[in-house]
Amino acid sequence: MAAAPEALPYAYAWWLGATAGRWDAVVEINDNTGAYASIFPLPIKTRPWGRDVYQPPFTQQLGLITTAASRQRNVLDYLALLPAGRFAHLYLQLSTQNQLVAAPPAFKLVQRQTYQLSLAPVYATLFAAYAPDYCRRLSRNQEQLQPLVVTETMSAAAVIKLFKKEKAAVGLKNQEYQSLQTLVEALQMHSRLLALEVRAPDTGELLAGALFVRHAHIIIYLFAAASPGGKKAGAPLLLLDHIIQRYAGSPGLVLDFEGGMIPSIARFFANFGATPVPYVALTQTRQPWYLQWMR
């Protein structure tokens, strides 16, 4: 991973350890050093019908990761090496670097998208690309006697608790919350986590919070929550504007909003000037047709 400057952090062993726990991989080994030159991670879980390759929670993209020493750079070559019968079902979201025009034989391909914003321009240029309503709301906040402010915190507990409260009916499964907590601890251990909050100035009530991941060339908008009052006050806007303002003028740095498949969320991201970036998901089922209902 250290030798793959364009790689996303999702494929680190400690990230997969937190979100998946178990994984296989197809690797290319450097003949001279014995080190990995390329890696194609395959998170797995055991089901009653066999082993599945799946996309773990909080892991938007995986796919093929190559280095300068890589000689095999075609995703199709790695898929072809998967042993027949080893996995009953496969679902993987590849990275934006692993574009496929068509599905390989025996696979199905689905186009997906995330939204990204280059942070190379200065803040004034980025702010000018915001939706007019966002500009007005941010300016209006600054005119208040007690404007809402964004603060950095060392703990993610409050924002996770707020999410549980507000998304109780349609939120995450207990195992997914556990994976998130384990990932947060791993991110903190590797100094990759940035946790931000917006609290009511008079009561200290948490209005909104967000967790960002800082890695090499990218900042990932990993997780967020807001109360109804926080949404009304525009607290989520403040969180993202804070990140954009903080890192504006950073050539080569990109903010990945990590989403965009839901139209309303895509519009929210686009209103910050972000643009869609495509990637693909691959599916393969090797179960007999009469067992496929069990998934």
Which residues are registered as beta bridge partners of 143?
A: none
Is the pLDDT at 68 greater than 50, yes or no? yes
pLDDT of residue 291: 52
**Res. 287 pLDDT band, cuts 50 70 90:** low
* Residue 251 pLDDT exceeds 90: yes
Reported as a single tens digit per residue, the pLDDT across 179-217 is: 999 999 999 999 999 999 999 999 999 999 999 999 999
- What gap in Å lies between CA 284 and CA 227, rounded to an integer? 39
Q: Cα 231 to the chain's mean position, in Å? A: 22
Q: What is the mean pLDDT of residues 143-162?
A: 96
Amino acid at 112: R
Query: Over the stretch 69-117, which tens digit does the pLDDT of each residue have?
Result: 999 999 999 999 988 788 999 999 999 999 888 888 889 999 999 999 9
User: Does the pLDDT of residue 290 top 50, yes or no?
Assistant: no
Which of the four pLDDT bands, split at 50, 70 and 90, describes residue 10? very high
Average pLDDT over the chain, rounded to an integer: 93
Q: Note if the pTM is more than 0.85.
A: yes
Residue 118: phi, psi to the nearest 5? -70, 130
| 294, pLDDT greater than 60 | no
pLDDT in tens, 155-188: 999 999 999 999 866 778 999 999 999 999 999 9
- Residue 293: its pLDDT value, please? 52
**Residue 48 pLDDT grade (very low, low, confident, very high; cuts 50, 70, 90):** confident
Determine what percent of the chain is predicted with pLDDT higher than 90. Answer: 86
- List phi, psi (to 5°) of 109: -120, 135
* pLDDT value at residue 170: 74
